Amino acid sequence: MVDVIFSSETSEFIINKRSDDDKSKIISSVSVKYPFRPSFDDGTEFSFPSDQTHYFYLTHRPACKEIDTCILRYHDTVRKTDAENRGWFIPFNVLFTEDESFANNQYFREYSFYAFFYLLSIPQIQEYLLDNDALLFSELLDMLSTHSLSELSPDINLDYSSWYNSIIVLDILKDKPKIKFPEIQPALIEKGFVFGKSAFSNSQVKAIKDGENKKWGINYITLKSCSKQIFNSEKEEDVGFAHSYYSEVWEHVFVEDNPYIRFFDLYQIIEVLMDEVLVKILESMIRTIKQENGGLRDYDTILKNYVAEKKRISIVFDCGKINSNGDDNIDNKQFLEACNEFLKANGHKEAKDLASALYSVRNMIVHRFRIMMSDDNRTKLKNLNEHFILFITRLFRNYSLEPIQQILDGV
């Protein structure tokens, strides 16, 4: 049995390995110095967090530096609440910073205290420190930025096989709207955070900050929740098909080096959303036919219109509030340009809208795969995928079934 305690007298976290037979007997122990004052400005000491009050996520952000430390603000786009401070993003190296602007900020001290406690509560880190008591905790975190724990200690049976360079701490107190991680993961991905064993770096990701807290001089980013019709709906029937697939995509799309496989991983999200469009139209038509006790002939033309994938992908874009020609958003425009660059390089005419362009890229790869494998095509598709990943995050944030309902009303 291993436990973690904090000594306010010495300002140290202490990891104790106790006897299974006699829990009062300590077999081995190691201490980790907490480098900041472990209390708020009024002297109130920090208390240990729990899974009822906080979420912790180990993450990786390429080229992560101390300056990237930032406050995480949460904006519930469904409830339309104002954005509020709900956590911190803390690179590992900042946990030992000598920068007084951090040391003097009571909220940074609070969340860094939580981060220390969480990291030191991970069994594999506990075991590594107990077995290597001469190793400083700061050195271990530095090694984790370039190695996985399994590489550092291959004899340990590890749950954490990935490598990380930073930690996210989120406040989920009951008196506030509860944050559910799937709702904000796309927003984090949009800011360049990677979850899992990957070093994938997206060149299209913008600078980490959205703004700066003028009082503290610390950056912040705003995490906008995704549509409840994609994730975490209160009503099961309102959850889109992508709900069961998206997590599989995020788990391996960053690990996958082959740009063709990565493209189809992402395109499958569009496919399941297109399936949802068709299923809802069919369900509505069946209900209407049963209620009216009518024939099928009147619905034949309507059905043909919406069976076509090209039509349904346009509806999916409408549901995501995506202006398909890209004029609504510079990122969408760049995605359209990347699709057209790939099409032109392979003898296909440019598409005028994003839905058609993406669908044409998909068809070209499927039907002409053997001649798509050149180095130039791989480079162009890799660039296209970087836009595609960020496009999915925007689609998830804005997705609404209202355009489908308008079609059903017409049917």
> Averaged in consecutive runs of 10 residues, what is the pLDDT profile of the chain (411 residues)?
91 91 87 93 91 84 86 79 86 90 93 94 87 83 74 51 80 72 84 72 79 84 83 50 66 78 90 86 77 64 77 89 66 93 93 93 88 86 93 88 75 56
Same domain flag for 58 and 178: yes
Same domain membership, residue 212 and residue 311: no
Question: Are 160 and 67 part of one and the same domain?
Answer: yes
Global pTM reads 0.82
Counting the structural domains of the chain, the total is: 2
Amino acid at 142: D
Q: Residue 385 corresponds to which tokens in the numbers above? A: 């995928």
Query: Which residue among 225, 246, 281 closes a domain?
Result: 225
Q: Are residues 220 and 73 in the same domain?
A: yes
pLDDT at residue number 238: 46
Residue span of the structural domain in which 302 resides: 259-410
Residues 142, 202 within the same domain: yes
246 within some domain: no
Q: Which residue, of 225, 246, 270, is where some domain finishes?
A: 225
Location of structure tokens 């992402």: 266
Q: Is the residue at 74 inside a domain?
A: yes
Closest among 251, 301, 245, 298 to 275, alpha carbons compared: 245
Residue 132's pLDDT is 83
Contact 225, 184 (CB under 8 A): yes
Asked whether residue 110 is assigned to any structural domain, the reply reads yes
Task: Provide CB contacts within 8 A for 191, sequence distance 6+.
Answer: 61, 205, 206, 208, 221
Distance in angstroms (rounded) separating the CA atoms of residues 52 and 55: 8
Angle, alpha carbons 57-62-68 (nearest 5°):
70
Q: How many CB atoms lie within 10 A of CB 135?
A: 14
For residue 94, give every residue at least 6 positions away whose Cβ sits within 8 Å of its Cβ, in sequence order, or none.
Answer: 66, 69, 102, 112
Q: Is 209 found in the same domain as 68? A: yes
Are 211 and 276 in the same domain?
Answer: no
Among 183, 199, 225, give the residue marking a domain's end. 225
Residue 70 lies in a domain: yes
